[in-house]
Every structure is written in C-alpha cells, then in structure tokens.
C-alpha cells in the first residue's frame, strides 16, 4: 500500500480553502489529492496530472467520493501550461508536486525500477514506450563508457561511477544486458568487495541515475517549477516534496531566485522533513523534504 508522504504538512502549508482550484502535478495513486478534496468542498476544483496511465487508474478509484469537480489528465507536469490551457483554466490557487516514486511503480510496474526483481531494463514512466523512446537498456548497451560514467556520477552521486561504467561495457561485450537482475549483478561485481554489503544496496545510485536520465526528471522539474509559478494566482501557494539532493537543490535554487526577483515569498526557511513516527511507519519517507512558496 502506497503511503502519501508529509500529508498533514502539505495540507497545512498549502492552506487549502473551500473553492480553491488545486493542481496536483504528480497525482500518482491519488493519496494527497484525496486529502485535498476534503478541504475543497463542492465549489473547489482539482486537476490531477500524471504521465503514468496506471497511476491515473488508481487515482480515479481513490477520488471516487471526491465532492469537488476533478479532472485527471495523462501528461508530464512539465507541460502543465498546456494541460491548463486545454481545460480552459488560466490560473490556479495551489500546486503540489510530489517527486517521489510510488511503491506501486517500483514494485509492480514491471518496468525495471527495482534491482530486487529481474525485470526488463526499461525504467521509463511511459506504460507503452515507443521504439524511439529512451530506455535504460539502450543506455547501458550503446552509450560510451565515459558518458555512462558521467550520468552515474552526476545523477547518482556514485563514487564508483568509473568502475561501474567499465564493468557495464566489459559485460555488454560478452552479452547484451536486458534485465535489472543482470545489471545489478554487474554493478555489485564492479565495486570493491568491502563496499558490497553496506546499508544501501550497491545498485541504488546507478539505478537512480539511469531512471533520472531516461525520464529527463531534472529537466522536467525545472520546467514544471517555472510554469507552475507562472500559473499561480497572487497569494497562491506551491508545495514541492523532493527525495534526493539533486531535486532539492533545483527546487531551493529556483525558489530563491524567484524570491530575489520579487515574484514569490519562501514560507519554509528550512525544508520540512517527516517525523520519526512517519519514518517508522513508512521507510520511503526518510529522505523527503518539503519546500513551500507563496506567489506575491
């Protein structure tokens, strides 16, 4: 069961009122949206976006009793301007972006997000990728060693990026790498033996780097933040939950820049983090950080 992270903090800091128009740019299974709905009343409106078709199906069920009018649209939040345009909405009062991957996507999508299962090496959020869409399989089998090392270091902050890239290139020379299990094993064998049994699985950072690259997550985040701030009405608020330092840095820097320009005011001097109780109940919450701004 997927648990929505920092749920109470999101509701409190977005200060959702009856009659608000709220955009949930990463609706996922609808956990946050369901809670938002209870505050909107019949006069409010909820717009949910997700590029994952399976997530929208789960959200539709979760929101079956939502009294407020709501639209669920399959799209990446980087295109939220086009979504709003398509449904005739000029501005919104509140925006939420929860950048976390759900347990459903990791455990049941079958698209290769987890190194704990042997699945096709896709790592794309698209349920039916087209032949021209980038996949993790294409990266590990065709990209140059140096390029692979660069993304593992840059997007995974992996200290053994060069060793892992070398291991991948040597392995693919013998056999095309097609599954997550094969890749995880190559990563384990590529790093020094004494680092193979730490708290974090040796493949964690490389898998993160591949996923970010395949889905252009940081590019989408930058674009989504810019367009989201533009779409907010004066006094409107935006809350963003990030799960690793690369995301959090982008959110922090864009918010600071917009505050300098006199466009927004930052409401969270330091990011809000989950309580010990929440982390105990949901281990995935441990790295979450929430930042909130208000449009001036």
Token pair, residue 228, equals: 């989201």
What is residue 38's three-state secondary structure?
helix
Residue 2 has pLDDT above 60, yes or no: no
Nearest-angstrom CA–CA distance, 180 and 112? 6
CB atoms under 10 Å from CB of 200, counted, come to: 7
Average pLDDT, the chain: 94
Q: What is the mean pLDDT of residues 174-179?
A: 98
Nearest-angstrom CA–CA distance, 53 and 60? 11
Is residue 97 within 8 A of residue 232, CB to CB? The reply is no
Place of tokens 């079956």: 64
CB atoms under 10 Å from CB of 158, counted, come to: 24
Maximum CA extent, the chain: 62
Q: Who's near 283: CB < 8 A, 6+ residues apart?
A: none
Query: What is the rounded end-to-end Cα distance, in angstroms, of the chain?
Result: 38
Residue 45 has pLDDT above 90, yes or no: yes
Confidence label for 227 from pLDDT (cuts 50, 70 and 90): very high
> For 91-146, what is each residue's pLDDT tens digit?
999 999 999 876 566 666 678 888 888 999 999 987 778 889 999 999 999 999 99
Domains and CATH numbers, the chain: 7-104+217-295 (3.40.50.150), 126-214 (1.10.150.170)
CB atoms under 10 Å from CB of 163, counted, come to: 17
Is residue 188 within 8 A of residue 164, CB to CB? The reply is no
Nearest-angstrom CA–CA distance, 9 and 275? 10
Point out which residues pair with 22 in neighbouring strands.
Answer: 46, 94
Burial status of residue 60 (CB atoms within 10 A of its CB: 0-12, 13-18, 19 or more): middle
Residue 1 has pLDDT above 50, yes or no: no
Of 102, 140, 107, 110, the closest CA to residue 128 belongs to: 110
Q: Of residues 83 and 283, which shows the higher confidence score?
A: 83
């Amino acid at each position: 069961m997927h648990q929505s992270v920092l749920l109470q903090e999101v509701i409190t800091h977005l200060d959702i009122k009856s009659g608000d128009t709220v955009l949930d740019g990463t609706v996922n299974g609808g956990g946050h949206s369901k809670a938002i709905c209870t505050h909107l009343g019949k006069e409010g409106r909820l717009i949910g976006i997700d590029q994952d078709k399976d997530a929208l199906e789960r959200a539709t069920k979760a929101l079956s009793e939502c009294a407020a009018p709501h639209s669920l649209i399959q799209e990446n939040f980087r295109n939220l301007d086009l979504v709003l345009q398509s449904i005739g909405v000029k501005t919104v009062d509140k925006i939420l972006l929860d950048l976390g991957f759900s347990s459903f996507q990791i455990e049941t999508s079958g698209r290769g997000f987890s190194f704990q299962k042997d699945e096709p090496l896709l790592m794309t959020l698209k349920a039916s990728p087209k032949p021209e869409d980038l996949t993790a399989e294409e990266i590990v089998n065709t990209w140059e060693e140096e390029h692979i090392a660069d993304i593992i270091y840059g997007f995974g902050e992996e200290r053994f990026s060069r060793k892992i890239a070398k291991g991948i290139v040597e392995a693919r020379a013998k056999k095309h790498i097609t599954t997550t299990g094969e890749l995880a094993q190559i990563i384990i064998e590529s790093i020094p033996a004494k680092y193979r049994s730490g708290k974090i699985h040796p493949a964690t950072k490389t898998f993160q780097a591949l996923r970010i690259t395949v889905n252009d997550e940081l590019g989408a985040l930058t674009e989504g933040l810019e367009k989201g701030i533009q779409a907010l009405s004066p006094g409107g608020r935006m809350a963003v939950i990030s799960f690793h330092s690369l995301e959090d840095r982008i959110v922090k820097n864009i918010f600071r820049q917009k505050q300098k320009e006199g466009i927004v005011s930052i409401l969270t001097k330091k990011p809000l983090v989950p309580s010990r109780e929440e982390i105990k109940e949901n281990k995935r919450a441990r790295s979450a950080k929430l930042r909130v701004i208000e449009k001036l």
